Amino acid sequence: MAAPPDAPVAADDAALIERSWHDPDSFAVLYDRYFGEIHRYVAARLGTHLADDLAAETFLVAFRKRRTFDPARGAVRPWLYGIATNLVADHRRRETRGLEALQRAPAGEVTDGGHEERVTARVTAASVQGRLAAAIRRLSPGDRDVLFLVVLAELSYEEVAQTLGIPFGTVGSRLNRVRRKLRRGLGGVNPMIGGSDG
C-alpha cells in the first residue's frame, strides 16, 4: 500500500493551494506530485482510454475549486481522489459495461512461472473471472468506491474516509461487506490462491 504523505508534505500541499490563489503556476507542483497516481487510479477504474482525460479533468476541477479546499477537512491527496471518484461516478455506465465485458471475456494470459503453474493459474482465473466481475458489478456504488480506493488507489482507511466524506468506521464496515459479497459471489473460491477460502 502506498504510504500517505507525511505531515510536512500535506502542509506543503495546503500551502501550495493557497499560494496558487495569487500565483496560479504554483498549482503545477501538485499536478506533478499527484498526476501519476490519480491517472493510475482512473485507468484501473475506467480503462486507459479515459484515464488521460479524466486525470487531467481531475486537476482542472481541483484548480477551479481550489479556493473551496479546506485543510481542516483533510489533506490534498484524498481531496484529489474525491474529485477523481466523482468524475468516475459520472462514467459509471462505462464501468458497468466494462465489467459485463470482463464477465464474458476469456481469462488473460499468465506468463510467470513454469508450465504447470501457468496452466493452474489460467484455469483458476478462467473459472473465477466472470463470477468476480459479476460480483463487483452487483456491489453498490458506495461499496465499489471503497473497494477501488483501497485496492486500486492504495489509500488508507483514513484517506478513503476523507475522500468519500464518510466516517472511518464506515470504511471498514463497507470493506467487510464487500469481502463477504465477493466471497459469496465466488462460491468461497479465493482467486489469489486458487483454492477454497473458507
125 within 8 A of 108, measured Cβ to Cβ: yes
- Domain residue ranges in the chain: 1-90, 92-198
Q: Which CATH architecture has domain 1-90?
A: Orthogonal Bundle (1.10)
In whole angstroms, give the CA distance from residue 88 to residue 48.
13
Distances (CA, A) of 189 to 89, 101, 180: 29, 21, 12
The segments of the chain whose pLDDT lies below 70 read 1-10, 92-128, 189-198
CATH number of the structural domain 92-198 = 1.10.10.10
- pLDDT tens digit sequence for 46-102: 888 889 999 999 999 999 999 999 988 889 999 999 999 999 888 866 556 666 666
